[in-house]
Structure 1
Amino acid sequence: MDRDAEKIHHDDSISHSQREASSAASTTVFAADVGDRTTAEGPYPRLQDQKDDVPQQTSAPAPPSDTAPQRGKWQKAIIVVSLCAALFLAALDITIVTTALPTIAADLNSGAGYLWIGSAYLLTSAAFTPSWGKISDIWGRKPIVLLAAAIFFVGSTLAATSVNIAMLVAARAIQGVGGGGLVVLVNICISELVSMRDRGKYLGYVAIVWALASAIGPVLGGVFTARVSWRWCFYINLPITGVVFIVLYFMLHLDNPKTPMWDGLKAVDWLGTIAIVGGTLMLLLGLDLGGVSFSWSSATVVCLIVFGLFSAVLFVLVEWKFTKNPIMPLRIFKHISNSAALGVCFCHGYVFIAGSYYLPLYFQAVLGASPLLSGVYLLPYAVSFSVTSYATGLFIKKTGKYLPTVWFGISVMTLGFGLFIDLPSSPSWPRIVLYQLVAGFGVGQNLNSPLVALQAMVKPPDIATATATFFFTRVLSTSISVVIGGVIFQNEMERRYSYLRASLPEDVARGLTGSSAATSVGILAQLPDDQLQIARNAFYESIRVMWIMYVAFAALGMVISVFIGSHILTKEHTVAKTGLKQERPVAEPTEQERA
């Protein structure tokens, strides 16, 4: 009987071993099959290659992400609306003061100082953009987005109650710190509220909100200034920001590591922060002052730009060698697809802002439109890229593919800005509207597609810093674009001085050329018809040359887009863990993942 039991036990052991071997063999075949399919899709690395779909039995620790908490439909809608409202205010404050500046200058008895009211906001917004992502990694998304809203609230309060121009400029600088944080953190929070597959759709909402705020800002500022007071350009922020703060405080539930204040402060990359903030401020200040307050060859401008670039080099060195928790991890740039996505972001931002900034100059200087009408004439462009951005998000959600929108969008944008070279010198509205629609259709497809591509290719712990890097790249590109476009336009007008001088008084010809060209459009209304046509021809030809430069940058974006890799966008909704425990080096992709 003992021998029979021993035999049964032996047979069971053999059977169990056979089952284990069979299971292992099946798993090996299945994994190999997945690997073959992945390799066939393209040569690009996949940092999360099919890992959401393939069960893996391993003793390695799980990535620092977790399944997202379930939210009701209405709860998610309220959170997204609140985040978009915060973004709306941050975008609104870029343009709302433009029509109020003359009144503000008169009310506060300011001379040239009023020019800093707009610049102060943009400078601090750009300088602090890279830091917000890493700070939210340390303390969590919710506390930091609330902090950004609070800073924006304080800045708005001080701006609304300013008693002199110095106080207003300082308040606008504080606003810019908070506003830049809101732009970055709203996009990070929305990215963590939905799955990778759904992000394009929700980021499309963000694009529409941004376009709406940019379009109505000047109009709203003019209405407040004429009907109530310019101070309402800032008072309007207070109740909306307060409601947003309360809603997010009670309803936004993302990972909260509850990092102790002192431990978090010790973990902040202070050297990197100082280098990037200082370098950005110096570079943008140099670009802002050059050709306006100082000549480009002046010591002030040269030193600002040179030391700004030196600080950028120092920043790279610090991030590479001297910090444990870099605010902009260089590993993001090691993957060619990530670098290409950021390259497309730069070229896209560089070209996109030109439509918003220089089409109004064309409308006013060439077609004779008023500042208000030039904003109305810009609507086809703004509406086109807003609607297209949302439609692109729906396409990405439906198909799970972002590369077609990147490639097609950058190609159509190149075509659209190429058509701008053919804009007529006299009103021909079918052409003017059609060209804007084509350009906007191309621009809208890449407002968020490169961001989706970037987020899809980085590890979950790097989502926030990658997003902050993306928006920092966009801010830099738009700032540099406006300056370079202005320099080309000024140089072209300077080349036409002799042409203008032959038919116009010397003081008028000089006023329409050089650094004062773009700001002297008002002179045109004072000219007789024969002289007016000559001046408008000079503006027309100079603007055409500027469009050629932007087409070249759009074409460069087309070339760079070829290097963006494809990645399957999962429908599984996971969020990255935050806190100091997660602040450790992220493993580089293996050779097999790069194959």
Structure 2
Amino acid sequence: MAEQERVAMDNITALEPATAGASLPAEHSPVEHTREPLDLLETPKVRTKLRLYAILLALYLVLFIAALDQTIVATSIPTISAALHSASGYVWIGGAYLLANAASCPIWAKCSDIWGPVSTSMQTLIAARALQGTAGGGLGQLVTITISDLFSEGLLAVDWFGTLSILAVTLLLLLGLDFGGAIFPWTSPKVICLVVFGTLMIGFFLFSEQHLAKYPLMPLSMFKSWSNNATFLVAFAHSMVSIGVEYYLPLYFQSVKQASPFRSGILILPMMVTEAAVDIIVGILIHQTSRYREITWAGATLMTLGTGLYINFRTNTPVARIVGFEIIGGIGTALLFQAPMIAIQNTVSQANTASATATLGFFRSLATSLSLVLGGVVFQNSMDARQSSLAATGLSESILEALSGDQAAANVEIVKSIQNARQRHVVLDAFAWSLRNMFIMYTCVAAVAMVASAFVKHQRLCKEHTETKTGIQHLTERVA
């Protein structure tokens, strides 16, 4: 190959003097004809397996850190809420992270489409490091002005209407659902305005994506397929159930079982270990069989079964039964971590893969935020519904206040101060009943995933990779 390139270059060199003064048209120039084979002589870069595994390891480590942040505080939330004297913070300790995560997913994906996933210049790298420092510790200022000077064309390509409207939808609806029934009554003008304007912003977002955005945040063409819609719904329901169970099982352990945060973490380990092991097996299985539809069916069914079994948790449920139920539920949720992503990527064009992946990620992130809010609302309303039975046992006003809907999750340790056995049993039963109602809600959501999974179509997995270039110039070519 090297010898062929040398000969080709010699031919070009030899021809140049003879044609230097010729008046031939440019398209007939022999120089041009001798240059064409050079493009064919370029050998594609081969990525070794070692380099591939190193890249995957680095990416998975980043994903691990991000995923760890979602649930690492779950077992400590009751203690944190009690120490900081903020019951409303129970939901928002996790919800604030998940809300920001959900709102920013489409933005990052579209930035990747416009500028590419990696830095191509020193200016881009410096700007990214500045943003990373801001997110990590809040030690620097935003570099919006600098970026706008360097990449004005790219910033004009960002779907700002779509970005701002999806942020508004996420914030308004989640705040409305969180405030309703907990901080303000559902009939409060504040709650009504948040929900109404959040709903209206959905309409504006759809209008923006259809008519205003040159490069839409979420191409609406993806939603014309029943299979795609079913896949999005499965992923949405799966994320709602999985994060809800991971956050509120520790509440069951610490309230009903009166376990310490450390023991609560130990008790939830069977589910987490099962999910990790099964997720690895699923990846291997899909790679070997190229089948993901059956895995989606099985995952949705087992997730519904496992979540339904949590409804049976009572004050006297033995640990062995709890572990068994966790394993069943863990298998179900683990089967659905990868399958929906593969399904959606396999049904859209290569050019829309990034947008489809980001849309799925957005729905997952939105579901996790919504899950904690709705779970908290169900729990709080259920605890309020048991106030009369708690008061009938003769509990003091201070304890009743601590066990009210918006305070109960932060006061699980108050049960230890109740000396009367009957009062103690009624309080534990109120916690168990409220959590039971919450798991009923999650079971219904899991059932939605089970029904939706029936509409997920299977397509043969493509084993050939088609290279798609990113950047504003390539986006322009696609639109044209």
TM range (shorter): 0.7 to 0.9
| Structure 2 residue matching 1:583: 3-state secondary structure | helix
Unaligned runs of 5+ in 1: 1-66, 162-170, 175-259, 588-595
Q: What is aligned with 2:101?
A: 125
For the structure 1 residues 143 and 389, does the alpha-carbon distance in structure 2 shift closer, same or farther, using more than 3 Å as the test? Answer: same
Out of 118, 128, 142, the residue aligned to residue 142 of structure 1 is 118
Tell me the equivalent position of 1:308: 198
Whether the 8 Å contact between 1:291 and 1:515 is mirrored in structure 2 is no
1:435 aligns with 2:325: yes
| Structure-2 separation of matches of 1:537 and 1:408 | 33
* 337 and 476 in structure 1: CA distance in 2 versus 1, 3 angstrom threshold: same
Give % identity: 41
Partner of residue 134 from structure 2, selected from 150, 154, 168: 154
Match of 1:523 in 2: 414
**Corresponding residue number in structure 2 for 1:462:** 352
Output the CA distance in 2 between the equivalents of 1:149 and 1:118: 26
Cα distance between partner residues in 1 of 2:77 and 2:249: 21
In structure 2, C-alpha distance between the alignment counterparts of 1:522 and 1:102, rounded to whole Å: 9
What SS does structure 2 have at the residue aligned with 1:401? coil
- 1:555 matched to which residue of 2? 447
1:199-218 equivalences in 2 (<5 Å): none
Q: Is this contact kept in 2: 1:139–1:264, CA < 8 A?
A: yes
Q: How many residues align?
A: 422
Given residue 152 of structure 1, which amino acid in structure 2 is its aligned partner? Q
* Residue aligned with 1:421, SS: helix
AA aligned opposite 1:519: A
Aligned ranges 1:12-161 → 2 under 5 Å? 69-95=45-71, 99=76, 120-143=96-119, 151-158=131-138
Give the equivalent residue in structure 2 for 1:378. 268
Partner of 1:62: none
Distance 1:110 1:367, change over 3 A: closer
Superposition pairs of residues 21-420 of structure 1, within 5 angstroms? 69-95=45-71, 99=76, 120-143=96-119, 151-158=131-138, 261-420=151-310
Counterpart-to-counterpart distance in 1, 2:387 and 2:77: 33
- Contact in 2 for aligned 1:68/1:573 (Cα 8 Å): no
State the match for 2:382 in structure 1.
492
* Structure 1 residues 32-71: Cα deviation after superposition (integer angstroms, max 9, x where no partner): xxxxxxxxxxxxxxxxxxxxxxxxxxxxxxxxxxx99531
Mapped to 1, the partners of 2:77 and 2:87 lie a distance apart of 15
**Does the CA contact (< 8 Å) of 1:412 and 1:442 recur in 2?**
yes
SS of the residue 2:411 aligns to: helix
Say if 2:393 is the partner of 1:503: yes
525-534 vs 577-586, greater mean Cα deviation? 577-586
Cα separation, partners in 2 of 1:448 and 1:585, compared to 1, 3 Å: farther
Pick closer, same or farther for the CA change 1:114–1:323 going to 2, 3 Å. Answer: same
Secondary structure of the equivalent of 1:333? helix
In 1, the alpha carbon distance for the partners of 2:371 and 2:338 equals 19
Match for 2:428 among 536, 540, 556?
Answer: 536
How far off is 1:102 after superposition?
Answer: 8.3
Q: What is the rounded CA distance, in whole Å, between the counterparts of 2:201 and 2:44 in structure 1?
A: 39
Q: Is this contact kept in 1: 2:386–2:430, CA < 8 A?
A: yes
Mapped to 2, the partners of 1:330 and 1:585 lie a distance apart of 19
CA distance in 1, matches of 2:339, 2:345: 10
Match of 2:26 in 1: none
Contact 2:181 2:381 in 1 (8 A): no
* Partners of 1:332 and 1:338 within 8 A in 2: yes
Within 2, Cα distance between the matches of 1:466 and 1:415?
29
How far apart, in 2, do the equivalents of 1:68 and 1:494 lie?
A: 66
Secondary structure of 2:47's aligned partner: coil
The amino acid of 1:74's aligned partner reads L
Aligned equivalents of 2:321 and 2:59: distance in 1?
38
Q: Cα distance 1:417–1:105, how it changes in 2: closer, same or farther (>3 A)?
A: closer
AA at the equivalent of 2:50: W
SS of the residue aligned with 2:467? strand
Quickly say closer, same or farther: Cα 1:349–1:585, change in 2 above 3 A.
farther
The CA distance in 1 between the partners of 2:73 and 2:436, in whole Å, is 29
User: Which residue of 2 is the match for residue 580 of structure 1?
Assistant: 472
Find out whether 1:564 has 2:450 as its counterpart: no
1:525-553 Cα shifts (integer Å, max 9, x gaps) = 11113321111112112222222221111
Partner Cα separation in structure 2 for residue 420 and residue 322 of structure 1: 46
Counterpart of 1:420, as a letter, is Y
Residues in 2 aligned to 1:395 and 1:279: alpha-carbon distance in whole angstroms: 38
Q: Would the alpha carbon gap of residues 459 and 105 (structure 1) be closer, same or farther in structure 2, given more than 3 Å must change?
A: same
Does the alignment pair 1:473 with 2:453? no
Amino acid at match of 1:516: Q
Aligned to 1:135, the other structure's residue is in SS state: helix
Q: TM-score if structure 1 supplies the norm length?
A: 0.65
CA contact 2:105–2:358 (8 Å) conserved in 1 = yes
Cα shift at 1:148: 6.2
How far apart are the structure 2 equivalents of 1:105 and 1:424? 24
Note the C-alpha offset of 1:427.
4.8
Given the superposition, is the C-alpha separation of residues 565 and 434 from structure 1 closer, same or farther in structure 2, using an over 3 Å criterion? Answer: same
- Kindly tell me: are residues 279 and 549 of structure 1, through their superposed partners in 2, closer, same or farther at Cα, counting changes over 3 Å? closer
Cα displacement (A) at 1:93: 3.6
| Contact 2:274–2:331, Cα closer than 8 Å, also in 1 | yes
